[in-house]
Each structure stands twice: as C-alpha cells, then as structure tokens.
Amino acid sequence: MKCPPTELHQCLNHCQRFWQVVWDGCVSNKLHSIKPTLGYVNLSHLSRRDAATLMRLCIGHTRFSHSYFLNRCTFCDCALTVVDMLLECPHYSIVRERYFSMTTLKDLFERVNTHTILDFIKEIGFYNNI
C-alpha cells in the first residue's frame, strides 16, 4: 500500500504533538526544565567527545557528580553537581563571568555558544572528569 508524502507528514506532525503533550507532563524531569520543547539538537559541528560532554552536562550525568561516593565541592561544600559547577560555585565566579552570566541551565544551554561552555569547562579543569 502506498502512502502519499502529505499524509505521512501529517501523521508525523500528529505524533510529534502527542509526544510534546506527554513531555509537557514530565515537569519534574530535570531534562524537561532544560529543554521544554522537543526538537532536534544539531551538534554536528562538535567532535564526538565534545558533543558527549555537552549532552552529559545537559542531563547532569557526569563522572564527578555520579561517582560511588557522594562528592562535595571542596570550595563551597555543596553537593558537587553540574548546576553548582556551571552556575553557583563562588570559586569559579571570576572565570564564569568571562564566559557567560546565566542563572539557569535552560538559559545557559539555549543562549550560550556550545564552544563557550566547553571552553569554560576546560579552563576550570573539569573537561576530563565529565
């Protein structure tokens, strides 16, 4: 049975709208707070390692924050998390100000160039721990 492209396109749009409704119901999901609207994220301009590093930062799953022992930030004694490292830790505030001045992960990943985020991570010495 043949299907005209227009019908297939309508079906895909319907599926995407349905998926978005389901996604909107996941407000307690931390990834939802970073990316509330579904869609393609093009990271083809990055190396595979840089793209993986950036995605790990987006979802908050990194080696330093999910190791066997619960890590504490040696500078501010908070739980060592992606949010602390990227946005809150006062130890990195001077370096952070040179790269960006965002207050939420959503704003950071939407408004700041990916290379800028990666350069910040490299300068503070966390690139190899992600």
Tell me the per-residue pLDDT of 103-130, one tens digit each, with 9 for 90 and over: 888 889 889 999 999 999 999 988 988 8
- Per-residue confidence (pLDDT) for residue 28, from 0 to 100: 78
The answer to whether residue 34 is domain-embedded is no
Q: What dihedral angle (degrees, nearest 10) is formed by the CA atoms of 80, 60, 63, 96?
A: -60
Same domain, 87 and 117: yes
Same domain, 11 and 51: no
Write the burial class of residue 48 (CB in 10 Å: 0-12 exposed, 13-18 middle, 19+ buried): exposed
pLDDT digits 0-9 by tens, 64-85: 766 645 677 777 878 778 888 8
Q: Both tokens of residue 54?
A: 């950036």
Same domain, 69 and 95: yes
Q: Domain tally for the chain? A: 2
- Per-residue confidence (pLDDT) for residue 42, from 0 to 100: 79
Residue from 120, 117, 87 nearest 101 by CA: 87
Domain extent, residue 3, equals 1-29
More confident residue, 61 or 92: 92
Residue range 87-107: mean pLDDT, rounded:
91
Same domain, 25 and 44: no
Residue 33: pLDDT above 90? Answer: no
The answer to whether residue 46 is domain-embedded is yes
Same domain, 7 and 48: no
